[in-house]
Structure 1
């Protein structure tokens, strides 16, 4: 029989079972799962068991599976290439394994690595692409955990890419007869944007790009820009797509507040450029304008040079991130682009502070606003924002806290309306300060609140005192008053 699990490495194989006889001993749920996988592989399945569950009987009635009724008989192994023992009787499973060994037929005994001469790995399937994972039978849960990790990381575009390359397999082999040249071609395909085109549903463009590579007309790599939301600070809140993009970047233009933990996910040989705007500087409006113009210029410069440029923004690119302006510049210059959403501060900071932005008893609507508007003198609609039973999530409001408080009160919002300030939301240095609307300015001053910070105004802000779960408990208004005294 086989060696002790883990004592020797297994030799990995993928079996071509189409039209070949496979025996499954057992007619229960476990057998049903094995039968389904074997049928998907095109196997000619014979199932031997005294009784079958309804799902297996349905396959027999449909003519998809042959049934041999009774207890195990070695004659069932006739013409079999592979046997799977899937009964709950250990003696029957051993008899199947011994008979298969005597006939030199590969056998898999479910959940018994020592009796098995073949083990079925955990699999990740993306169309014709399959990733098989085995722990040698010694730690199956570890293999399953790794499979779940890969399931999350390998999106369906890999299936489309595998299908596309399979369709062009003969053309590729004819075009690149030399194995080394063929390997270099595939590296170009993987490094190209074909996968991104497939992910975006642009199958025809992906096919045209592959043909261009085959014809060797794509002498220069086509540059592109990807706007990526980095979230509020906690690298664990990056999306899977964001992580994949960061590993592909040639150049990363990142905001000043994107932390080292997030930047550590960037490909090691990528060029990192800090293009952040620093609030509070002298002549800040002009400085922000100049910085944004520099960002536009850098995006165009590197994309036109054929590089993959990641514009990495805190929060979400389309929520007070000027992502729309940047895409307009790219579109006007014919640069390919993509947007990867991020978890915006209103959602993340509120969640990490234990503040539900909507609540059936307190708030039926949510307003996401910014205290920093375009320099045209426009003011927010304070009358609309001052209505009760709603939540205000205010970005970039630290410097304007006193003015915000005065405007809301002047337009009818009660002075006792709860407020919360979430500084460095989701980061280890997160602080939450709570109080009432009339104390908003003094809370900012007394606690020396710094950006980034989100202001939350509304009844739900009071829930931070009872629903907090991350970091230190909120600092109440009384604490601020005592500190000021």
Structure 2
């Protein structure tokens, strides 16, 4: 985030606008709307600016810029068509530590004027950091359609009763639940129907009710493999309601950014070499501790909680201690990483089944198990496989899998730095080391992975050598 989002209270504060044309006029109107005391300086001004001066709405200085105009000013807007003048104003304003916006020149500006969705007192601001104002305008147009104009009166009503709400709902969670009711219930409905008296009566009636004590709960949320766009709506809602978030090491920062700003986030991820049993016990105790206090706890897991995520163990613990829980499924890594690499996990001609496995299984797996893994016409998906690459391909080949079986090793699947290594099974370990593939990586083995070079659409693809590609035909499953 290059710019710090900030809403400034300019009521009664002096703001200087240098320039008297149409652009300056628009800036002046926006500043007047929030109560600023505006001074305009320019040799000439539009008719409307002159009228505002005659009506004592603004002060107008009818000449070119002078440095002493910056005295006793809070904010500056340079809206002249002379770049040298704009540059001079920007330099002087910076020396005085004044925030300045130079119209259409983000490099000289220390603040940008955003596009606004006005539902006063609710204001939504959209900024492109001054680089693409047309894009910001288009985003604003879309947001305009999402928020009913009754939101303004609803926010004003909430402000009127803010003290009463805090007194009747001292617990933070019960207060949030009240505001959810306010947004989704009869008060908002009455305001949409232009019935403000009924809305206020409904609010007062609800405030008079004794709130039910908040009961703690835990929600297991599957965060998917990294791309925040793959979160479900239920997952996003849970992140925005959580008091406590216990997140795994591989949950991406972009997903954690979507959580409530005042939620407490605690990393409980396991790292290679540590005592995983002790870490899991700590997770159990943290869930119990915070839920017992009546808090909303989100246990945020990479991928899906029920696919190599120990979600079942955590639910057993919660049930044993009579803690309420819910489960929000996530897109597991095999599905998402394969899709982002252009690999169909099943294909009518090449794979009739998929096996999900963790490469951390015991090397003492029975010969019958290995023989089943080595069968053709199936796709193998190995989670957490990087540390096992030196021996895993050899075991599969020894039990009947062809040495030239194609593979795809997907590093940071679905993320902006995704890489996919393609090759043949007997060269997997050497090629993975040569290209320095790291965790998190998902290993896919099977005939369908040869389709990836043709079907790839995301990230970087690395071919370890020429892989025999399968025909890319459109066939129904």
Judging changes above 3 Å, is the alpha-carbon distance between structure 1 residues 323 and 355 closer, same or farther for their aligned structure 2 residues?
A: same
Normalization by structure 2: what TM-score?
Answer: 0.56
CA contact (8 A) 2:226 2:252 kept: yes
Match of residue 409 from structure 1: 397
SS of alignment partner, residue 391 of structure 2: helix
Match of residue 271 from structure 2: 278
Unaligned runs of 5+ in 1: 1-7, 9-140, 152-177, 197-211, 480-485
CA contact (8 A) 2:370 2:399 kept: yes
Q: Which runs of 4+ in 1 moved over 4 A?
A: 141-151, 178-190, 192-196, 212-215, 375-380
Judging changes above 3 Å, is the alpha-carbon distance between structure 1 residues 307 and 183 closer, same or farther for their aligned structure 2 residues?
A: closer
Distance 1:463 1:184 in 2: 63
Match of residue 334 from structure 1: 322
Judging changes above 3 Å, is the alpha-carbon distance between structure 1 residues 179 and 245 closer, same or farther for their aligned structure 2 residues?
A: closer
Normalization by structure 1: what TM-score?
Answer: 0.55
Judging changes above 3 Å, is the alpha-carbon distance between structure 1 residues 315 and 214 closer, same or farther for their aligned structure 2 residues?
A: farther
Distance 2:252 2:395 in 1: 34
CA contact (8 A) 1:395 1:453 kept: yes
SS of alignment partner, residue 390 of structure 2: helix
SS of alignment partner, residue 474 of structure 1: strand
Judging changes above 3 Å, is the alpha-carbon distance between structure 1 residues 142 and 406 closer, same or farther for their aligned structure 2 residues?
A: closer
CA contact (8 A) 2:173 2:295 kept: no
Match of residue 235 from structure 1: 228
SS of alignment partner, residue 329 of structure 1: helix
SS of alignment partner, residue 312 of structure 1: strand
Judging changes above 3 Å, is the alpha-carbon distance between structure 1 residues 182 and 471 closer, same or farther for their aligned structure 2 residues?
A: closer
Q: How does 1:303-318 map to 2 (within 5 A)?
A: 303-318=291-306
Distance 1:383 1:290 in 2: 35
CA contact (8 A) 1:388 1:413 kept: yes
Q: 2:312 aligns with which of 324, 328, 332?
A: 324
Judging changes above 3 Å, is the alpha-carbon distance between structure 1 residues 310 and 376 closer, same or farther for their aligned structure 2 residues?
A: farther
Distance 2:180 2:354 in 1: 37
Aligned residues: 304
Q: Aligned Cα RMSD in Å?
A: 3.8
| 1:218 CA displacement | 3.6
Match of residue 439 from structure 2: 451
- Check if 1:466 corresponds to 2:454: yes
Distance 2:296 2:173 in 1: 14
Judging changes above 3 Å, is the alpha-carbon distance between structure 1 residues 376 and 355 closer, same or farther for their aligned structure 2 residues?
A: closer
Distance 2:333 2:207 in 1: 42
Q: How does 1:25-424 map to 2 (within 5 A)?
A: 145-146=142-143, 181=164, 191-192=176-177, 216=210, 218-219=212-213, 221-279=214-272, 281=273, 284=274, 287-373=275-361, 378=365, 381-424=369-412
Distance 1:222 1:215 in 2: 17
Judging changes above 3 Å, is the alpha-carbon distance between structure 1 residues 147 and 340 closer, same or farther for their aligned structure 2 residues?
A: farther
